[in-house]
Amino acid sequence: MQVNPQEVSAEQATTPRYDTIVISGATGQEVPRTVDGGEVVSWARGHELAAGDALLEFVTYVADGDCGISEELSMKAREALDLMARRSRLGWDADEKGGDA
């Protein structure tokens, strides 16, 4: 696969560049907030991202009310999906009140 080079330097880029670090055999349970001077903004253990598709599909089904359950449970599922979307957009700030909710 060939990647097109950036037209401008990293300092002038308008979209952030993210580096991915894959760690095998770690024994701790804490994810560091910084690495080599940069902020850690995303992480996943093992194949959790791939495994999450089935759960996302089910929660969306419940949130859409397509399964004959109570409206209250559908609303809770929708809240969970909305929080997931905010976390995807905002990272660490998703749970703070008053921001881009």
Comparing 3-12, 20-29, 42-51, the range with the smallest average pLDDT is 3-12
Helix (H) or strand (E) holding 79: helix 71-90
pLDDT of residue 4: 45
Residues 41 and 90 sit within 8 Å (Cβ to Cβ): no
pLDDT of residue 59: 92
pLDDT bucket at 5, cuts 50 / 70 / 90: very low
Comparing 12-21, 45-54, 74-83, the range with the smallest average pLDDT is 12-21
pTM, 2 dp: 0.49
pLDDT of residue 3: 45
Region of 67 (left: φ > 0; alpha: ψ -120 to 50; beta: rest) is alpha
pLDDT of residue 95: 76
pLDDT bucket at 49, cuts 50 / 70 / 90: low
Share the mean pLDDT of the chain: 77
Q: What gap in Å lies between CA 63 and CA 44, rounded to an integer?
A: 24
Instruction: Give the residue-averaged pLDDT of 55-62.
Output: 91
